[in-house]
Amino acid sequence: MIIAEVIQRVQSAYSKGVHSDDTRLSNRHIYNTLSTHRQRLIAQQAKKRQKISEWNFIVLPCVELIEVPRHECTCLLDMGCRIFRTKYPLPKVLTDLNKHLIAWVFSIDMSVKIEEATREEMLYIKGNKYTSGKPKYVLENDHLYFPVRPGTPKVVKIKLLAEDPVEAYSYPSLCDCDDCDDCISPMDMEFPIDGELLQTTIEMTVQELVDLFYKVQEDQTNNTADSEKEKSK
């Protein structure tokens, strides 16, 4: 379901819950609230070790890597004289109890899988004959860093759980295409969430917005009452 359709469902439910409201919520406000509750529900699944549906993931199809000085990623200093890094910072990624929720990183032709390693693991990889030759990456400062080995690609695909879907869909792609996401309105982009979580996300969003409306109304009423008291003095 595209973002515009999800927002419209929230607008319709909100209007029924707040009959006296003459103003419409902004699409940006609704989207931000939807996105926050989507994050919360998926993070809860991850922390409970529950299966996360494929519908929640986004694939960055053509992520460019560039060579950078070794000192940019100190945990890779002993991994060789050359380091690759994603050219642009990645969109913010959801996390579980232990790691960022990146499902996989592959070469562009899907022939080479690159495994994630922590800073601590990187310290031991060089001396391990079973793992030292396998492509690895580490996530630092919103970038993926890759020690250059035989077979290390210069363009990769990344499948991840993004905090903000629009940010992920708008991520710069090296691949040429006639229908790129940067040419598409955010309202026409998919809202990546499975059917089981969608209704709950909408309900939580509507409830938060309705509660906020009545809180503002109550505050305005209190302020008006205070003003009337001041006038009567």
pLDDT of 76 above 90: no
38, 162 Cβ separation under 8 angstroms: no
The domain ranges of the chain are 58-160
pLDDT per position as a tens digit, 138-167: 898 899 998 877 667 889 999 999 999 999
Lowest mean pLDDT among 90-94, 111-115, 229-233: 229-233
Cα–Cα nearest to 193, from 165, 159, 156 = 165
62, 157 Cβ separation under 8 angstroms: yes
% of the chain exceeding 90 in pLDDT: 55
Length of the chain: 233
What's residue 73's pLDDT?
Answer: 67
| CA 116 to each of CA 120, 134, 163: distance values in angstroms, whole numbers, following the listed order | 12, 11, 19
Tokens representing 169? 């869909």
Strands (E) located in the chain? 58-68, 83-86, 102-107, 113-116, 136-140, 143-147, 155-160
Cα–Cα nearest to 142, from 124, 167, 122 = 167
